[in-house]
Amino acid sequence: MSKERVGLYPGTFDPITNGHMDIILRGTRIVDTLIVGVAVNAGKGPLFPIEDRMAMVREEVDSATDAETAKRVVVRTFDGLLIDYAKRNGVTAIVRGLRAVSDFEYEFQMASMNRKLDPSIEIAFLMASDKYHFISSRFVKEIGALGGDISHFVSEGVAKRLLARYAQGEKVLAGAASKAY
């Protein structure tokens, strides 16, 4: 009997984008169980609290997949060293998305460090689909903060949450109002 393949797709997911969902859906095809690890990562100054980010991920997975696939996606928080979290959860592969060549250098360094820390955990890179390779949570937040149309980048539910957040007067990023798209 073969060992269950447990994947871990880590990220801040602040907010979850259509690009993230693309990687999640494709990740479920290469592992038996996919843990979406929502990073606490207070250092990044997330717009949404961890509970909201987890809820958004769960809602997106449940609405974008069939019930059988949704059962194989586990949404959890994590803090600390990724490789330690992976080991504690029986992860056999860390799933990472690559949007552009600029992502590769950073991801390559991180993968090399993680392989050094635990060579038994594979690193699987999934290239972003053509229609999502330019999407980043940071840009989505900036565009949304400036009143731009974010409907091509996030689901309707996520867009509503972002707009509600902005209506409360939340600042997304320092200087966001000075950026133009």
Mean pLDDT of 167-172: 65
Judge whether 157 lies within some domain: no
Q: What is the pLDDT of residues 55-91, one digit of tens each?
A: 999 999 999 889 999 999 999 999 999 999 999 999 9
Domains of the chain: total: 1
Q: Which of 53, 96, 99, 161 is catalytic?
A: 99
| Interatomic CA distance for residues 20 and 28, integer angstroms | 13
Residue 97 lies in a domain: yes
Q: What angle do CA 107, 113, 116 make, to 5 degrees?
A: 140
Find the domain containing 105 and state its range. 6-134
pLDDT at 177 over 70: no
**Which is catalytic among the residues 137, 141, 155, 161?**
137
Structural domain includes residue 10: yes
Tokens of 136: 């980043």
Distance CA 109, CA 90 (A): 23
pLDDT in tens, 123-158: 999 998 889 888 999 999 999 999 899 999 999 999
**More confident position, 181 or 98:** 98
Q: Which of 3, 26, 29, 44 is catalytic?
A: 44
Mean pLDDT of 99-126: 89
CATH of the domain at 96: 3.40.50.620
Kindly give, in sequence order, each residue whose CB lies less than 8 Å from that of residue 176, ignoring residues fewer than 6 positions away.
141, 142, 145, 146
Residue 156 lies in a domain: no
Q: Considering the domain boundaries, does residue 51 fall inside one?
A: yes
Considering the domain boundaries, does residue 106 fall inside one?
yes
* Domain-located, residue 117: yes
Specify whether 58 is catalytic: no
**137 flagged as catalytic:** yes
Task: State the pTM of this model.
Answer: 0.88
Asked whether residue 1 is assigned to any structural domain, the reply reads no
Which residues, including other chains, have CB under 8 Å from residue 94's CB and lie 6 or more apart?
Answer: 7, 8, 9, 10, 82, 86, 111, 114, 121, 122, 123, 124
